[in-house]
Amino acid sequence: MNVNTSVNFESFYYFELLEKIRKGGEAQYGAEAQKYLGKLLEFLESEDDALVSIENLAGAQSTSDLAIFFSDIIDHVSTVSPEESMGKIDDRVRDFLEIFEVFLQNDEWKEAVEREIFSQLGQESDAKTGQKESAESDAGGAESCEKILNDAIASHAEDLPDDLQHKYINYANVLLQQPDIANLIEMGVDHPETSGFYQTTYVISQMSAADADSLDMSGFQKQADAWAKTFKNIFIDQPFEVSDLFELEVVDEAVEDVAETEPAETEFEETESFETETVEALVSETESVEAPSFESMFEEADNEFAEDAEEEAHFEEKASELDSLVESINNRESRSTHAINDSEEARERRNMLRDYVISELESYSEEISEAVEILVHHPTDADMALQLKDALKALKDLGQIHNYPAIESAADTILRMYAQLQQEKQSFPESEKTAFDKLLSLMRDYVDGVIAGKYEAVEQHIVRSLAEMHGRLFDAEPVSNVYSGDTLEAAFQDVVSRFARQLQAHLEQPQSDDAVASVFENLNYWNALLLPDIAGRAVQQMQQFFAPGQLEKLTPEQHQFLADILKSWETSYVTESQEVWQNYNDQLTGMYSELTGTVGIDEAEDAFADVAQRQLEALEATLAADDANIADVLNGEFAEFLEIFRENSTLVNRTSLANIATGLQNALDSADVAALSENDAIADDLRSVIQQIRQSVNQPDEIVDVDEIIAEFDLLVTIVPEENEDTETSSIDDLPDDESIEDIFETEIDEIEESAEAVEDALEDELVDDLEEELEDESDEDIIKTIEAEYAEFETDEELELEDVNKLVGEIED
Return the number of other C-beta atoms located less than 10 Å from residue 45's C-beta: 19
Which phi and psi angles does 408 have, rounded to 5°?
-60, -45
Residue count of the chain, please give it.
814
Sign of CA dihedral 8, 9, 14, 18: positive
DSSP H/E element including 155: helix 145-157
Q: Which of 297-311, 705-719, 727-741 shows the lowest per-residue confidence on average (mean pLDDT)?
A: 297-311
* Residue 769 confidence (pLDDT): 66
Give the residue with greater pLDDT, 275 vs 368. 368
Q: How far apart are CA 449 and CA 465, in angstroms?
A: 17
Residue 106's pLDDT band (boundaries 50, 70, 90)?
confident
Asked if pLDDT for residue 92 goes beyond 80, the answer is yes
Question: Which segment, 68-77, 212-221, 729-738, is predicted with the most confidence on average?
Answer: 68-77
Instruction: Decide: 559 and 503 in contact? Cβ < 8 Å.
Output: no
**Lowest-pLDDT range of 94-98, 120-124, 229-233, 378-382:** 120-124
More confident residue, 791 or 642: 642
pLDDT tens-place string over residues 352-388: 888 888 998 999 999 999 999 898 888 888 888 889 9
Instruction: Look at 622-626, 706-710, 747-751 and tell me which has the smallest mean pLDDT.
Output: 747-751
Domain boundaries of the chain, sorted by first residue:
9-121, 146-295, 338-477, 485-598, 604-718, 739-813
Closest CA to 665 of 634, 686, 688: 634
| Percent of the chain residues topping a pLDDT of 70 | 67
- Which has the higher per-residue pLDDT, 751 or 446? 446
Give pLDDT, residue 85.
80
Q: What is the mean pLDDT of residues 23-29?
A: 88
Question: For residue 23, is pLDDT > 50?
Answer: yes
Residues near 355 by beta carbon (within 8 Å), at least 6 away in sequence: none
Q: How far apart are alpha carbons 442 and 779 in whole angstroms?
A: 98
The overall average pLDDT reported for the chain is 73
Across 397-409, average pLDDT: 87
Q: Which of 129-138, 633-642, 794-803 has the lowest mean pLDDT?
A: 129-138
Residues 215 and 207: their CA atoms lie apart, in Å, by 8
| pLDDT: which is higher, 645 or 203 | 645
pLDDT of residue 763: 63
684-689-690-693 Cα dihedral, nearest 10 degrees: 160
* Burial environment of residue 510 by CB neighbours within 10 A (0 to 12, 13 to 18, 19 or more): middle
**106-131 average pLDDT score:** 66
- The reported pLDDT for the residue numbered 255 is 34
Does this model's pTM top 0.85? My answer is: no
CA 215 to chain centroid: 42
Across residues 526-555, what is the average pLDDT?
A: 82
pLDDT band at 395; cut points 50, 70, 90: very high
Residue 89: pLDDT over 50: yes
Over residues 323-329, mean pLDDT? 36
CB-based burial label for 333 (10 Å; 0-12, 13-18, 19+): buried
Side-chain half-sphere of 787: how many Cα atoms within 13 Å?
A: 24
Rounded distance between C-alpha atoms, residue 139 and residue 151, angstroms: 12
Which pLDDT score, from 0 to 100, does residue 508 have?
86
Q: How far apart are CA 407 and CA 400, in angstroms?
A: 8
- Supply the pLDDT for residue 652: 75
**Is the model's pLDDT at 786 over the cut of 80?**
no
For residue 215, pLDDT beyond 70: no
| pLDDT class of 565 with cuts at 50, 70, 90 | very high
Q: What is the spatial distance between Cα 471 and Cα 124, in angstroms, rounded to a whole number?
A: 48
What is the arithmetic mean of pLDDT over 414-420?
85
* Percentage of residues of the chain with pLDDT beyond 90: 5
The pLDDT, as a whole number, for residue 807 is 61
Around Cβ 241, how many Cβ atoms within 10 Å? 20
* Higher-confidence position of 348 and 693: 693
CA pair distance 811, 176, nearest whole angstrom: 112
Residue 480 pLDDT more than 50?
A: no
> What's the confidence (pLDDT) of residue 589?
82
**Pick from 423, 417, 459: nearest CA to 439:** 459
CA–CA distance, 658 with 612 (Å, rounded to integer): 12
Reply yes or no on whether the pLDDT at 328 is more than 50.
Answer: no
Q: Per mean pLDDT, which range of 180-194, 345-359, 369-383, 695-709 is the poorest?
A: 180-194
Residue 342 pLDDT more than 90? no
Confidence band of 601 (pLDDT split at 50, 70, 90): low
Give per-residue burial for 377-408: e unless 16+ CB within 10 Å, then b: eeeeeeebbebbbebbebbbebbbebebbbbb
Write down the pLDDT at residue 676: 66
User: What's the CA gap between 202 and 200, in Å, rounded?
Assistant: 5
- Higher-confidence residue: 778 or 629? 629
With 0-12 CB in 10 A as exposed, 13-18 as middle and 19+ as buried, what is 226? buried
More confident residue, 80 or 234: 234
Q: Helices (DSSP H) in 47-88: which residue ranges?
A: 50-58, 64-77, 82-87
pLDDT of 266 higher than 50: no
Mean pLDDT across the stretch 322-332? 37
Output the pLDDT for position 208: 65
Q: What is the CATH number of domain 604-718?
A: 1.20.120
